[in-house]
Amino acid sequence: MTVTGNLRTAAPARPRAGGLGHVSALDGIRALAITMVLLYHAVMPLHFGGAGGVDIFFALSGFLITTLLLEEHDRHGRISLRRFYVRRAVRLYPPLMITLALVFVPIALLMGLGYAAWGSVMALFYLMPIGAETGADTLSAYAHTWTLGLEEWFYFVWPLALVLLVKGARTVQGRRSRRALAVAVGAAGLLAVAALSVEASTGHMSFILRTCALFAGCALALVLHHSTVAARTWHGLAGLALIALSVMRSSLAPLSTVDTLAAAGGTLLLVFAVLRGPDGPIRRTLSLAPLTYVGRISYEIYLWHYPVLCLFGVLARTDFLEIGWIAIPVSIGLAAATHAVTKPVVKSLRAKLPV
């Protein structure tokens, strides 16, 4: 869950020459997603349907990454893959390395040195989706990093594909824009159909095929980038209703592909409403300062919360439900500290990158 946080100017309700800018309500959507995931894990073994928060992150990440790439192309007539990957590494690796370094010793002492070393390697090189997909992952303190791995895999595929799709164009519009949109929609659709088929035939969800949400976010970015289509209030309400449906369904029964698709689809409607709809209670609520702050540190919260839950659970020899009330606040505190420490470093390194 490594949704970018690069967009920094005043929030518009319509496209403008300066780009998307910083939209506070998108931070609020991040806060909604991380809150769902925290509750999902913190109440185990009770069942709360918050796992769809991952798909909210995926859809939002696909949208933001694609928007950034399209805006770079419009400004410079090209997309620099080198700059993109360096910026991603500068943003994502410092918090990840700090988290892995600080949890290594306690995990090694409580769970074994080999366990800590192998889990760190799997997380650091974004290999955990393989363990999650095959069911071979027993490294529970690191298991949550499967989502980070999927996003990194996406980063290696989609920016390169977009460069090839828009190559030679001064701006991403016309035939090339339609071609890129067709690829994004096709990828999202094929992955969604494959996910439904795999679940129907095996009775188990595919973790890797949940990347359909990432490509759905890409499709929305392409639709909105050169369009002035306006949203209505009902788009935001429908988006929230779909997310709520995902939570309710997956609280009453095991998480299914239908639930993840509902969460992703609801996110797309919510993003559309926030960016192109009238100002109203939804946007204002999502823009509240406490929510936007949680959204800005959501990546660090995600990194910290699961190892802390596991360590507290081992120490207390109990379920997450019994220790979640203290483990989650500790995780948020560690995330805030990690964000505060790495933010100036990230800012300094990014300032040195070529335009």
Interior/surface letters 269-286, b for 16+ CB within 10 angstroms, e for the rest: bbbbbbbbbeeeebbeeb
pTM above 0.85, yes or no: yes
pLDDT for res 352:
74
**Nearest-CA neighbor of 261 among 111, 51, 112?**
51
Which stretches within 77-145 are classed as H helix? 81-111, 113-124, 128-134
DSSP secondary structure letters along 143-208: GGGHHHHHHHHHHHHHHHHHHHHHTT-SSS-HHHHHHHHHHHHHHHHHHHHHHHHHHHHHSS--SG
Token pair, residue 39, equals 């509750």
- pLDDT for 13 equals 41
- Cα–Cα distance list, 239 to 6, 39, 232, 242 (Å): 24, 20, 12, 5
User: Residue 19 has what pLDDT?
Assistant: 66
The low-confidence residues of the chain, meaning pLDDT below 70, are 1-19, 135-139, 168-174, 354-355
Please state, in angstroms and rounded to a whole number, the distance separating the CA atoms of residues 1 and 147.
Answer: 6
Residue 310 CA: distances (Å) to CA of 110, 132, 145, 158 = 10, 17, 14, 34
Distance CA 123, CA 313 (A): 21
